[in-house]
Amino acid sequence: ILNVEQSPQSLHVQEGDSTNFTCSFPSSNFYALHWYRWETAKSPEALFVMTLNGDEKKKGRISATLNTKEGYSYLYIKGSQPEDSATYLCAFTNTGNQFYFGTGTSLTVIP
């Protein structure tokens, strides 16, 4: 069984605060790391995919970094807004092209 772990499991922040969470994955057989945003009653939306160690991606106030050698990725949200409230999923892809999802970080932004 391949473990992809996300922490924290849930998070409450005040509107305007910046926050970040972690995705840990096996450092061997790495192929790609994906981040998804999953709002209640909707399907997951792809945010980023990163393939190289040191990759950084940014989309508006959300950014992500990747460290394949130590097996982690951070997702950052700057100036959180209520509409950022969602579950953020990461997924690790190995060289066998298999997807493994983490259990997600549930973010609630309090107005």
Partner 1 sequence: GAVVSQHPSRVICKSGTSVKIECRSLDFQATTMFWYRQFPKKSLMLMATSNEGSKATYEQGVEKDKFLINHASLTLSTLTVTSAHPEDSSFYICSARTSGRAGTQYFGPGTRLLVL
89 near partner 1, judged by CB under 8 A: yes
Q: Which stretch binds partner 1 (CB under 8 A): 17-25, 35-43, 64-72, 75-83?
A: 35-43
Q: Which of 16, 27, 46, 82 binds partner 1 (CB under 8 A)?
A: 46
Judged by CB under 8 A, how many residues of this single chain contact partner 1? 20
39 near partner 1, judged by CB under 8 A: no
Q: How many angstroms separate the CA atoms of 90 and 110, rounded? A: 23
CA 10 to chain centre: 13
Q: Which of 72, 74, 76, 101 binds partner 1 (CB under 8 A)?
A: 101
Q: Which of 18, 51, 53, 81 binds partner 1 (CB under 8 A)?
A: 51
How many C-beta atoms surround the C-beta of residue 107 within 10 A? 21
CB of 102 to partner 1, least distance (A): 7
Name every residue whose Cβ is closer than 8 Å to that of residue 44 and which is 6 or more positions away in sequence: 36, 37, 38, 89
Q: How many angstroms separate the CA atoms of 105 and 109, rounded? A: 13
